[in-house]
Amino acid sequence: MNALSSSLGQGAYSTLPPTLTERLAKWLQWPAAIALMLGALYLVFVIYTTGQAAWAVGLLALFGAGFYVYLSRGGFAWRYLFPGVAGMLVFIAFPLVYTAQIGFTNYSSTHLLSESRVREYLLEQRDAVEDQVLGYSLHASGAEYRLALRAPQDGSPEAAPHWVSPPLALRAGKELRVELAAADAAAPPLNAALPLPELIQHREALAGLVLALPDASAPFRELRYLGLREFGPVKPLWTANADGSLTRALDAAVFKPNRDTGFFESASGEVLQPGFKAFIGVANYARMLVDAEFRGPFLSIFSWTVVFSALTVVFATAIGMLFAVMLNWEGMRFRTTYRTLLFLPYAVPGFISILVFKGLFNQNFGEINAILDALFGVKPAWFADPLLAKTMLLIVNVWLGYPYIMILCSGLLKAIPADLYEASALAGASPFTNFFKITAPLIIKPLAPLLVSAFAFNFNNFVLIALLTDGRPDFLSTKLPAGQTDILVSYTYRIAFKDSGSDFGLAAAISTLIFFLVAALSLINLRLSAKAQK
Amino acid sequence: MAIVLGKQARWRTFAAHAVMWVFIAITLFPLLAVVSISLRPGNFATGSLIPTEISLEHWQLALGIPYQAADGSLVQPPFPVLTWLWNSIKIATASAFLIVAISTTAAYAFARMKFRFDRQVLNGMLLLQMFPPVLALVAIYAIFETIGTYVPALGIETHAGLVLAYLGGIATHVWTIKGYFETIPVEIEENAKVDGATHWQAFSRVLLPMAIPILMVVFVLAFIGTIIEYPVASILLREEGNLTLAVGSKYFLHDQRFLWGDFAAAAVLSGLPITLVFLLAQRWIVSGLTAGGVKG
């Protein structure tokens, strides 16, 4: 960076000679840039060769932009902007776009891989040729090992082998091709065969061996590991056809990729696992509207999300504003202490206070029920009863949220000119009149956009739900598990990462829906802030 | 205000204080309860909120020291709390450093340079920030799975990958720093340039030293923001030894294994420093709040 900019910005007024590090940086500038460029190109190339062309192009664009910004003479400001803007584009903008794209696919635990990867996987499946299987034994030979193979009719490992391998180091990892030689009766006999427990230790290395028989004309020349007792020739289960379909070696049935369902399917309707990622259009969205079994819980989760965020904002605003007004009242003593104490819920990390409430509300061990039991003799089931669970969420969320509103209101109250209250005091107005005729109308305008963003925040308040109730109690008899206290984001998390088969596509479709709601809320927010500034 | 106070006013003050006290009691109850629970023997609620008998067993376990129970058996710590704390601090420090670095340079460009589409780029960044990462978890997971197949050091289950994922959240920080830069007279840097400083030198040797207070504030904000982050960390980290505190803490309160006392000690141990830092930074946080930030 230093050298780059000094080569550009050095003006006629430069007096200091370049320091050693500056000169060094100047010399190393191009070699370093070229080395980086080669590294980047190599990475792009590797990704491209594994069939991920879209990712490779995206990465190439990112690297290209980076090198252009730092090596060209134009776009000076972008040298400062690039890391930040790239971070936002890659980790915020791109995930949003990618989510929307996933929403149109069937990406899920049964459709994890791309079509080409599934085809590769199937083509790698092999089966042993039954009547050509050979028995083997492994013999130590110094630090290395020799394999001895014999035909099944030869019987026990003590029988003379047909073929033996040269000494092998037997390291697990890469595939290794080994030429076998016919056993020589005159050669010194092999050491005793390794017992089974030791053989098991070499299993991985043996699995990587490809043994070639010396007879080049044999129909099945290559032998592969089949088990702890046998090596034998294998034949692939599938052969690829030019049109992308696969033929099963067993019965010559042709399986064509069905790009609507994401499976390889035969004409008779037989389906192969695993499925592949396929573009399925608006099917995920149609599910939200058409599928009655899914729509029921989805709509009630949606309405609970709205109710939850709205009630949180209403209660938090009521309490926060009340205390802001009280703390703003000069007749009140100890105001700073009160303010700090009331601010505490905001300062304690959310994940800790939410979990503290989870413990306090516990039906049997929790302190809240202990108190309620002592006072009224009741032990409400805070986590099992839907209505109580929702009430608890609201209580906790208001506890977490009111200090924020209080701080906002305190700031806004300070801006109200004091002479308004003086005038109203002369007229003998009560504090309530003061509040509703002077305070509220004056702060509602600047407060409105902030309340909208608080609403948007709670609309996506995943952490609260995930840590407090995890969406439970669940709706009974739904196809996809859905919780009565789930809000939309926690529901998508559950669909994608929890018990219900990881349906990433459906989760992404719901997320996309939330994007639009958030965008709408942001728009309202901007409108209201513009109005407040007038 | 020169207002004549009536007889009513004294009652009003009294009532206001009473309301305050009641509400402060409700607010502080959970926080005080958790401190008391951490000092109470056993993992179950047994009567009084003010512990009659003080036991340090939960604190020992939270600090990773096995505890000798009354019946002679040795209780092992249920979870590696200190490892989690260390993971959290490591990740938060690295993220905060990088976030400060890239938002400072970006803020410098916005505050001091004129370039095409500058307003649009800034507004675009602020607009993007309104979409929390929790909405794109599926994509973030898929992205890091793909990254991991080519660069394993940045994939799922790596702390470096998580730090990388946090680098997107800079827009509000850029805005804060830009605001501060604009309060520093540009003439100082121009003088430096007249004396032969390059652009980069004017930025790094003249402007940055004057902006250290705001950089520290942004560092603290970014640090707290990442240390309390839950959703992204919960999908990228799964193995017990790898977790951050925010992800790991919930395992204390599993339905079948409810370690209430152990949790309380761990919560106080990890929550207290974060809370103190937050209270110290409160002054700046509050001024930043009105600029549109929401607690994450």
Three-state SS sequence of A67-91: HHHHHCCCCCHHHHHHHHHHHHHHH
- The tokens describing A490, both together, are 């926690």
pLDDT in tens, A263-274: 888 777 777 778
Q: Kindly tell me if the per-residue pLDDT of A162 is higher than 90.
A: no
In a 13 Å sphere around the CA of B242, the CA atoms on its Cβ side amount to 14
Residues 54-83 of A with CB under 8 A from B: 55, 75-78, 80-81, 83
Assess whether pLDDT exceeds 70 at residue A208.
yes
Q: Averaged over A383-403, what is the pLDDT? A: 92
The pLDDT value given to residue B296: 32
Separation of first and last alpha carbons in chain B: 39
Smallest CA–CA distance from A93 into chain B, residue: B128
Q: List residues bridging with A248 in a β-sheet.
A: A238
Peptide bond into A380 cis (omega under 30): no
CB interface of A with B, residues 340-359, below 8 Å: 340-353, 355-359
- Tell me the one-letter amino acid at B296: G
Contacts of A249 (CB under 8 A, 6+ apart): A127, A235, A236, A237, A238, A239
Q: Does A379 or A176 have the greater pLDDT score?
A: A379
Q: What is the per-residue pLDDT across A489-534, written as a single tens digit (0 to 9) for each?
A: 998 888 888 866 788 888 899 899 889 988 898 888 888 888 877 7
User: Residue A6 pLDDT more than 60?
Assistant: no
Which positions in chain B touch A102 (Cβ < 8 Å)? 138-139, 142
CA atoms within 13 A on the CB side of A392: 33
Distances (CA, A) of B46 to A369, B257, B273: 12, 17, 28
| CA B54 to the chain's CA centroid | 31
pLDDT for A155:
55
ipTM above 0.90, yes or no: no
Q: Return mean pLDDT, chain B.
A: 83
- Please judge whether B196 and A11 are an interchain contact, meaning their C-beta atoms are less than 8 angstroms apart: yes
CB < 8 Å to B5, chain A: 331
User: A258-292: buried (b, 16+ CB within 10 Å) or exposed (e) per residue?
Assistant: eeeebbbbbeeeeebebbbbbebeebbbebbeeee
DSSP conformation class of A168: B
Residues from chain A that touch B221, judged by Cβ atoms under 8 A, are none
Per-residue pLDDT, A500: 62
Residue A139 and residue A81: Cα distance in Å, rounded? 65
Which residues in chain A touch residue B34, judged by CB atoms under 8 angstroms apart?
A: 356, 359
Question: Could you tell me the pLDDT band of residue A291, with boundaries at 50, 70 and 90?
Answer: confident
Q: What is the torsion angle, in degrees rounded to the nearest 10, for the CA atoms of residue B103, residue B107, residue B109 and residue B111?
A: 180
Measured distance CA(A232)–CA(A130) in Å, rounded: 8
Chain B residues in contact with A326 by the CB 8 A cut-off are 16, 19-20
Residue A181 DSSP label: E
pLDDT score of A396: 94
Q: Is the model's pLDDT at B294 over the cut of 60?
A: no
Give the C-alpha separation, B34 to A355, whole Å. 10
Convert the pLDDT of each residue in B69-111 to its tens digit: 777 777 778 888 888 989 999 999 999 999 999 999 999 988 8
Q: What's the confidence (pLDDT) of residue A2?
A: 45
Q: Which of B17, B235, B295 sits opposite A346 (nearest CB)?
A: B295
Count CB-CB contacts under 10 A for residue B38.
24
Q: How sure is the predictor about B6, in pLDDT bands with cuts at 50, 70 and 90?
A: low
The model's confidence at residue B2, banded by pLDDT at 50, 70 and 90, is very low
A424 touches chain B (CB under 8 A): no
Structure-block tokens of residue A180: 């076998």
Question: By the 8 A CB rule, do A203 and A168 touch?
Answer: no
Q: Cα–Cα distance between A63 and A68 in angstroms, integer?
A: 8
**Cα–Cα distance for residue pair B127/A520, rounded to 1 Å:** 12
CA B154/CA B164 separation, integer angstroms: 8
List A residues 79-138 in contact with B (Cβ-Cβ < 8 A). 80-81, 83-85, 87-88, 90-96, 98-99, 102, 107
Å between A75 CA and nearest CA of chain B: 8
Strands A209-212 and A176-179, by their bridges, are parallel
Coil/strand/helix, residue A501: coil
Other Cβ atoms closer than 10 A to B53: 10
Residue that the structure tokens 């635990």 belong to: A109
> From CA A457, how far away is CA A517, in angstroms rounded?
12
Q: How far is it, in rounded angstroms, from Cα A15 to Cα B196?
A: 6
DSSP code per residue over A347-358? HS-HHHHHHHHH
Q: Note the pLDDT of residue A287.
A: 83
Q: For residue A1, what pLDDT is reported?
A: 41
pLDDT digits (tens, 9 = 90+) for A435-470: 888 888 888 888 888 888 899 899 999 999 999 988
Residues in chain B: 296
Rounded-to-integer distance, Cα B38 and Cα B30, Å: 12
**Alpha-carbon gap, residue B272 to B284, rounded angstroms:** 20
Check: CB of residue A275 under 8 Å from CB of residue A263: yes
Instruction: Give the model confidence (pLDDT) of B236-291 as tens digits.
Output: 998 888 899 889 888 888 877 788 888 888 889 888 888 888 888 776 655 554 44
Q: Does position A331 have pLDDT exceeding 80, yes or no?
A: no
Greater confidence (A164 vs B131) lies with B131
Model pLDDT for residues A18-55, shown as the tens digit of each residue? 677 878 887 888 888 888 889 889 888 888 887 778 88
- A21 in contact with B at a CB cutoff of 8 Å? no
Question: Residue A324 to residues A336, B11, B244, B266: CA-CA distances in angstroms?
Answer: 12, 20, 36, 33
What was the pLDDT predicted at A9? 46
pLDDT value at position B48? 62
| CB neighbour burial string for A322-338, b if at least 16 within 10 angstroms, e if fewer | bbbbbbbeeeeeeeeeb
Task: For chain B, count helices (H), then strands (E).
Answer: 15, 4
Please answer yes or no on whether A338 and B250 come within 8 Å at the CB atom: no
The partner residue sitting opposite B267, judged by closest CB among A95, A355, A518, is A355
Residue A271: per-residue pLDDT: 79
B230 DSSP β-pair partners: none
Task: Give pTM, 2 decimals.
Answer: 0.81
Which pLDDT tens digit goes with each residue over A224-233? Answer: 787 777 777 7
Residue B32, min C-alpha distance to chain A (Å):
11
The kind and range of the H/E element at B288 are helix B282-289
What letter represents residue B175's amino acid? W
A180-216 burial code (b ≥16 CB/10 A, e <16): beeeeeeeeebeebbeeeebeebeebbeebebbbeee
Q: Which residues share a beta bridge with A141?
A: A144
Chain A residue numbers with beta carbons less than 8 Å from the beta carbon of B37 are 359, 367
Distance CA A524, CA A519 (A): 9
Amino acid letter for position B103: S
| pLDDT higher than 70, residue B44 | no
Residues A170, A153 contacting (CB under 8 angstroms)? no
Residues A286 and B104: their CA atoms lie apart, in Å, by: 45
Percent of chain A beyond pLDDT 90? 11
Distances (CA, A) of A426 to A419, B1, B7, B255: 10, 11, 16, 61
State how far the Cα of B55 lies from the Cα of B63, in Å rounded to an integer.
14
Alpha-carbon Rg of chain B, whole angstroms? 25
CA A339-A354-B41 angle, 5° bins: 100
At B54-69, the pLDDT tens digits run 777 788 888 877 777 7
Listing DSSP states for B226-266 in one string gives HHT--HHHHHH--SGGG--HHHHGGGGEETTEE-HHHHHHH
Tell me what pLDDT residue B233 has: 93
Contact A77, A69 (CB under 8 A): no
- Least CB-CB distance to A80: which of B109, B132, B253? B109
B228 CB neighbours in chain A (<8 A) are 349-351
Question: Who among A78, A425, A519 is closest to B3 (CB)?
Answer: A425
Q: Enter the tokens of residue B107.
A: 């803020």
Nearest chain B CA: its distance from A520 CA (Å): 11
| Cis peptide bond upstream of A274, omega within 30 | yes
Instruction: Name the nearest CA neighbour of A229 among A330, A137, A321, A332.
Output: A137
